[in-house]
Amino acid sequence: MAAISKRFGSGGANLAPGGSAGSPALADALRDVADDLDALAPDAVAAPAAAPAAGDPPTAAEFNAVVTLVNELRDKVNAMAAVTLKTTKAD
């Protein structure tokens, strides 16, 4: 878990491999950021684009398609919100 301060990298700090110039090392911080981005990448939405095809008023099938789409989007957003990030901001 990398806590990245505002002074990260200043004066060469944290830039040497293996943590010999401070912790976290640049490579470790970049790996943690990459892991965080990967964890936040949702799968593609599988529900069809129902809203543009809906009539006025929508049929029961159109309404159900929109409900399915909204529920899938809600689940994806909730999954992203539940991710524990490896990187944090430090003073």
* Beta-bridge partners for 5: 90
Cis peptide before 24, with omega less than 30 degrees from 0?
yes
The pLDDT profile of the chain, 91 residues, written as one tens digit per residue, is 788 888 888 888 888 877 778 888 888 889 999 999 988 888 888 887 766 666 788 888 888 888 999 999 999 999 999 988 888 888 7
Name the residue ranges covered by the structural domains of the chain: 2-90
Does the predicted model carry a pTM greater than 0.85? no
Segments of 11-86 assigned E as strands: none
